[in-house]
Amino acid sequence: MPRRILILTDSIAPPAFAPRIVSLCRHLSDSGIECVVFSDREQGVAPFSMPFGKWYQTAYYQSGNKTCRYWMDKLFDARERQFEAFIEAQAEVSTFDAIFCSTCYYFPLQTTYRLAKKYHKPYIIDIRDVAEQWGNISYNTYSVASSRVTKGLHHLFTAWNIRKRNRVLAAANEVITISPWHQQLLSRYNSRTHLIYNGFDEQEFYPKDVPTDTFLISYAGKIYNLFFRDPRLLFGALQELLRDIPGMQKDLHLLFHVDQNSIEPLRRLAAEYGLGAYCEIHGYIPKNELLPLLHRSSVLLVLTCQSTPEGAHGIMGTKFYEALGVEKPVLCVQSDKECLAQVIEETQAGLAGSDVESVKRFIAEQYCEWQQNGFTRRKVAHKDRFSRAAQSAQIEQLLRGL
């Protein structure tokens, strides 16, 4: 049975927060397993202390010429090699029983592979996002890289990274991922691929009925672009509801906390639908203000797009799970008609909307409940299945199986 676990991850502190790792370390520590965490550190990270186990950070892109470092990383794997050297300088890798790597895309998969091979350690890969999930969608439309040469290089590096990733996955003792679509994809490279959904920390996200003076529909998270996370279905429904239900005009309040690049495009879109007077749009909300916002909200938005053969797949953002935790009605627009819609139906958490009429009915129902009670509440099914505690227990079982 493992007593010491070496945990490698991309970034663990806000804004690239990894609550999955924090919850896992808390759970393993309570079970008597020592955790030592090594992570990347991004610029602009707020002060944050790891409450469980030891935590070390390195910062590849925060020193020297960033362009030079970028190409050194792409061409010679410099970031991973620096991370490997940093870990070996700080810890006796040979003293650990296993390695656990949690990643969004690629880093630090190669470090995990090399350390596991060098020190003959079993390892588990927890992979939260994969390049294939975007299909042909360029989810970051604000990138300055748009030339034909740059796009060609991007596809080349993506194919190269996927090939290296698959080598690491194939050699892993176990692989974990976060949606049925991801599980099906990654099982091609390792048959021991397990589905452990993302979720909510029950100590941070819990229900509380807070009567409010306004019917608040809110969203706090990244947009990426308005094609991938598209609120048009919501805006179209509200445009008609404001015409059909006169009382809603004095009660409705839309509140968005999004990435800086999305603020102006979202404001222009709201104005196009005549919702500018009802819509308030700001940058990211401080972490300590998020839970009060969720409690005040009457409807919590989850923005996504419909899955198609060429489009996105398996996208199940943490915003949905936070809504489960606080037991607020979820409005997903538009329905992905895939993994997320299926879980929304199974949990009875709200609506995965695919047309204006269904969205109108759903909002009208929540508005009626808010008028009667001053707040809304959604009792969800199978809630415990999506708690961080349940997920950490599943991961612990896999670690003990090593």
**pLDDT value of residue 50:** 61
**pLDDT value of residue 13:** 55
**pLDDT value of residue 36:** 94
Instruction: Report the pLDDT averaged over residues 126-151.
Output: 69
CB 337, CB 354: distance < 8 Å: yes
Q: How many CB atoms lie within 10 A of CB 388?
A: 24
Instruction: Report the pLDDT averaged over residues 268-276.
Output: 96
pTM higher than the cut 0.85: yes
User: Which amino acid type is present at position 393?
Assistant: A
Residue 141 confidence (pLDDT) above 50: no
Three-state helix/strand/coil letters over the chain: CCCEEEEEEEECCCCCCCHHHHHHHHHHHHCCCEEEEEEECCCCCCCCCCCCCEEEEECHHHCCCHHHHHHHHHHHCHHHHHHHHHHHHHCCHHHCCEEEEEEECCCCHHHHHHHHHHHCCCEEEEEEECHHHHCCCCCCCCCCCCCHHHHHHHHHHHHHHHHHHHHHHHHCCEEEECCHHHHHHHCCCCCCEEECCCCECCCCCCCCCCCCCCEEEEEECCCCCCCCCCCHHHHHHHHHHHHHCCCHHHHEEEEEECCHHHHHHHHHHHHHCCCCCCEEEECCCCHHHHHHHHHHCCEEEEECCCCCCCCCCCCCCHHHHHHHHHCCCEEEECCCCCHHHHHHHHHCCEEEECCHHHHHHHHHHHHHHHHHHCCCCCCCCCHHHHEHHHHHHHHHHHHHHC
Instruction: Report the pLDDT averaged over residues 284-301.
Output: 95
Print burial letters for 348-360: b (CB count within 10 Å at least 16), e (below 16).
Answer: ebbbbbbebebbb
**pLDDT value of residue 140:** 45
**pLDDT value of residue 308:** 82
Instruction: Report the pLDDT averaged over residues 11-20.
Output: 63
CA distance 264 to 282: 10
Q: Which residue has the higher pLDDT, 280 or 225?
A: 280
Tens digits of per-residue pLDDT, 34-85? 999 998 876 555 545 566 678 888 877 766 787 888 888 888 899 999 999 9
At residue 16 the predicted structure's pLDDT band, cuts being 50, 70 and 90, is very low
**pLDDT value of residue 137:** 63
Tens digits of per-residue pLDDT, 332-390? 999 999 999 999 999 999 999 999 999 999 999 999 999 999 999 999 999 999 999 99
At residue 246 the predicted structure's pLDDT band, cuts being 50, 70 and 90, is confident
Residue 130 confidence (pLDDT) above 90: yes
CB 200, CB 390: distance < 8 Å: no
The residues with which 330 forms a beta bridge, in sequence order, are: 300, 350
Q: What is the mean pLDDT of the chain?
A: 90
Which of 63-67, 256-260, 395-399 bottoms out in mean pLDDT, i.e. has the lowest?
A: 63-67
CB 7, CB 112: distance < 8 Å: no
Chain-centre distance for alpha carbon 102: 13
**pLDDT value of residue 147:** 64
Q: Which residue has the higher pLDDT, 140 or 98?
A: 98
**pLDDT value of residue 226:** 83
Instruction: Report the pLDDT averaged over residues 241-265.
Output: 95
